[in-house]
Amino acid sequence: MSVIEVDNLVKRFGDKTAVDHVSMSVAKGEIAGFLGPNGSGKTTTIRVICGLLTPDSGTGQVLGHDILSETAQIKRQVGYMTQRFSFYEDLSIEENLTFVARLYQMDPIRKVVRNALEDLGLSSRRTQLAGTLSGGWKQRLALAACLMHEPKLLLLDEPTAGVDPKARREFWDEIHQRATAGLTVLVSTHYMDEAERCHRVSYISQGKLVTSGTVAEVLDKADLATFVLEGAGVNEAARQLEDMKGVDQVAAFGVSLHVVGRDHIALKRAVDRVAQTTDVTIRPGETSLEDVFIQFMGQTADAPR
């Protein structure tokens, strides 16, 4: 059963096309990762899906409701966590959650708020002002507010930016537990370790959907070859490899060199040639999701200049 089913979504702002014929399907209980550079159209797509923006063209259903004519029904069943912390910093955790409960006209409010505090481990800090919370606790507050009305779909827009690794892991453990119970999640992220925790990932660039599938499928479709070079001559090897045919990426990882390319034969010739003139050894490496997405960025205008 598809919770999100959209086809050929287009959203323009003046002469800029932010979302360019994007189609996407997300099944119930699935965690779908949404990746792409800043300004690629991720946030705009999410806002169209949850009914905050109306597409200029395209069709779709979210939770069985039409994205053009039934946005009110969609909004009531969606939890949306934005990039920025959007709660009152001079109110306590409990006061912020009480405010949200009133917006949703939930009843009885005290019980709903108490359950939300307990659910995300916020009870001991309920009187603490939101503005004094660390990034990880702000994240918990935001998630509690998104979940307290028991949504069927959770939309997370770069939810762990600025959060330490331990808090990020705890956050993802929470998300997986809820997905197991049937909650559907669409999450945008820049962190490759987070993307690898998703059931499926999609990459968007300049408003266009470039690829979609499980992590294994995306890696397979990219068809990149990877070699690892090690030894005293890695710096010189990196210098020589930069302009050689078949070499698309050269990146240092500690004392080793990660070399990636689409043309498997040309890449192997390049690393073999460099190994003959520098003090390095070569071994096959595993292509990572990060390699794939850097490759996509290098093929578009999203590449850094």
- Which residue positions in the chain have pLDDT lower than 50? 302-305
* CATH architecture classification, 225-286: 2-Layer Sandwich (3.30)
Give CA–CA dist 65/2, Å, rounded: 11
Give CA–CA dist 270/211, Å, rounded: 28
User: Which regions of the chain carry the CATH code 3.40.50.300?
Assistant: 2-219
Quick one: pLDDT at residue 214? 95
**What residue has token string 């999609």?**
202
User: Which regions of the chain carry the CATH code 3.30.70.100?
Assistant: 225-286
What sections of 68-214 are H helices per DSSP? 71-76, 93-103, 109-119, 135-147, 165-180, 192-195
What pTM did the predictor assign? 0.88
Q: Which residues pair with 33 in a beta bridge?
A: 187, 201
Quick one: pLDDT at residue 95? 97
Quick one: pLDDT at residue 37? 87
Which of the listed CATH numbers 1.10.645.10, 2.102.10.10, 3.40.50.280, 3.40.50.300 matches domain 2-219?
Answer: 3.40.50.300
Give CA–CA dist 231/205, Å, rounded: 37
Q: Which helix (H) or strand (E) holds 270?
A: helix 264-277
pLDDT tens track for 206-234: 999 999 999 999 999 999 999 999 999 99
Contact 79, 147 (CB under 8 A): yes
Quick one: pLDDT at residue 303? 45
